Amino acid sequence: MRLPLCLTVAALTVATPALAQDRALAFELGLGARVAPDYEGSEDYSTGPSVTGAVRSLNLLGVNIDRGDGLGFGFGPSFRYIGERTEDDHSRLAGIDDVDAAFEVGGRVSYRWEKVEVWGAVRKGVTGHDGVTGNIGSDFVHDYGQGTEVRVGPRLAFANDEYMDTYFNVPAGASLAEYSGDGGLYKAGLEMVVRHDYNDAWAVEGSLGWNRLVGDAGDSPIVEERDSGTVGIMLIRKFDWAF
């Protein structure tokens, strides 16, 4: 069974020295649970661990980086973990090679206005697959006050031919019909994230998402269900280190 595990590092924005002087390193780590399809296109769901991390500010060796009020241009790394997919767990995939757990590494850029943020991320598979994936999205952001913020917006996901070959193509002789699709836009959806910061140390975040496989990915015989949902809950611990 696939255990979904996601790791994302939030965007960083350059700050003035005055903002960064108050702390050398501020970051947060979150651990929670996420319900999602066993694999992309599966009609079965599983609950697995979900991890998040964000660097809020850094003042080290003359480099001053701070998220500040969150407005303006931002940048940062982006990571993604995809659980293994095996024939033993999914008998309908007989004759299709098992896929080891994959880890993707890349970068993310964003720009935030008062109520709207747009962002994009690109990653390369370093284990599990050799493909390249990317995401773009935008969020309407509303601050309800007293530490509560809600984000809602569309999401688009892209992948190249290597990614498609690993996760959606079917070789000759498999139990499913032979299939070969090309890379491009392969998933579209919406996501809502609600976050509440209780204090300077703790926060909780919940997410609700819908995605639809489109294009060649959606036409793959591997796909049982094009539409899928995700639900997640996360407890976040914030750290502020001076050194």
What's the pLDDT score for residue 69? Answer: 63
- For the chain, what is the radius of gyration of the CA atoms? 19
What's the pLDDT score for residue 29? Answer: 83
What's the pLDDT score for residue 8? Answer: 46
Q: Report domain extents, the chain.
A: 17-241
- The encoded tokens of residue 123 equal 């990653």
CATH number of 17-241, picked from 2.60.120, 2.40.230, 1.20.120, 3.90.930: 2.40.230
Whether the Cβ atoms of residue 58 and residue 25 lie closer than 8 Å to each other: yes
Chain centre to alpha carbon of residue 71:
21
Whether the Cβ atoms of residue 137 and residue 108 lie closer than 8 Å to each other: no
Distance CA 135, CA 155 (A): 7
What's the pLDDT score for residue 109? Answer: 83
What's the pLDDT score for residue 100? Answer: 93
Residue-level pLDDT, tens digit, the chain, 243 residues: 444 444 444 444 444 444 445 546 777 888 888 899 999 999 999 887 777 767 677 676 666 666 556 677 766 667 788 888 999 999 889 999 999 988 888 887 888 898 999 999 999 999 999 999 999 999 999 999 999 999 999 999 999 999 999 999 999 999 999 999 999 999 999 999 999 999 989 999 999 999 999 999 999 999 999 999 999 999 999 988 877
